[in-house]
Structure 1
Amino acid sequence: MLRADETWAFFSRTGVGLFKVDVLAPSGVVDQALLLALAEEGIAYSISRDIDSVDLEAKVIILDVGSSGLSYLESAAAKFEALKIPLLCALPKSKLDWFVPLKATDFFLVPPAKGEISARLARCMAVNRMSLNGAHGSRRSYPGLHIDKTSYDVFYRGRRLVLTFKEYELLSKLAGHPGKVFTREALLSEVWQYDYYEGARTVDVHIRRLRSKLEDTGQSLIETVRNVGYRLRPDGVEVDGEGRRGKGR
């Protein structure tokens, strides 16, 4: 993954205009800071006011989150997810929490840092290729938990889990290092490739969702290390919501 400044330099040489980007702004008014950043990075774009008018040939859809209500944006996000088109959210700082329910591929804050949109676009396309084609890898196992890195299938106690891509990446990261404690900041950086401090709340929300899908018995494989972060238990022993230990089944 290139840093934002490296990606910006790369696209400056090779032509980021090769990207076909559509900006969805239901209000019809796009944040001027977003338009300025797109122009400065040399990114060609079109603007759509509603879901049905979006250019479906676009490589990435940039969703101007500040231009509409959450329910409408969720409908738009669901459509693009079904069409396998990456969704990049342009988030005002006041609506940072909206990134989670929108289930977007990635996001940036408005106004973005120099070169950040190019970096996020590149990552969106890379993630989409992995999702469509499958990544090379092998099956990763943990007591009761099986993660297939080729098919992206996850099974827990013989039951297939339905995970979002970010939930999959987060669980895979923890399962790859049983017992290792990851801070929220480290997970945000390694899974989301983002280091904005308020984004740590996104990690908490995804951990909570993972637990809800894993712990149908009221126990958890993911342990909270108070004031530090999270880890996957190293010994196959699960911890219930009150901190009591019980043998993994």
Structure 2
Amino acid sequence: MKGAGTEAGMPESSCLVGSWLVGRKNPMQVVMSETVALAEDGYLQVTAYEDGYVILPGTRSGAGLPPDRAALLDAILGREGELRLRREPGPPASFRGTRISLAQIQESVTKAARERGYLARPYYVLFSMAIAVLSGGFLMWRGNTSTAFLLCMAAALLGTWSFREAHISKAGAAEQRRLLALQDSLRRPSRPAHPEGETSLGYRLLPWATLLLDGEDYGRWYADNLLDVELPRWWGQEADGQDPTLRFVSQEGMKGLLHSLLHHVGP
């Protein structure tokens, strides 16, 4: 969509991996954005009722999804293959749910980032570890056990640090730049012209706007791009006489859905 991110500038990663690359640390935004992305990509279907929501599998199978997206999709649908949500008045004050584990999602994000080549292998650290160990062995052979012990300890600490910290590779840095460029583009005011009868391309950007924008920026982007277009194909709701597009963005619509889902998120 011109004015809100072009096809060439679209990120290649999921919202989950993208959140790590740009340092978005709010788990609520991360879970909400990827949930919308899964729905927009055809993996989820949602129906809103008077007192809640039902999330069902979409038209596409989750087979072949990267581990991060597959983990969230499996957690949402669960063994039952669906999720029925009572409408909550707002997001939870803390994460106490048992259905979606943030720890498991984080583990899957690391795996997905590694598979995409976004994690750098710290060869310089491994080389330093090898030198320290070899030097320690030589000094121990020469009888200098105290210095050898210190070198081996330093090697162990280097190893612990290198495997604990996540280092972004060149490919990861390139994706990070795409994400930051998209964020800047989304922040700029725009009112694109949508061909008559065409579902807005803005819904493809909705997950990224949910992840990358806060407060007034998100509200302005949504008003510019989605208030006057058809509802997304993955959304259904019972008619109640209200303007369906205004209802969709309210607590009775998508906002309420995502807030209600967050009540099922835990450590």
TM-score range, shorter chain: under 0.3
TM-score normalized with structure 2 length: 0.22
Q: Which has the higher contact order (CA 8 A, sep 6+)?
A: 2
| Higher normalized helix content (fraction of residues) | 2
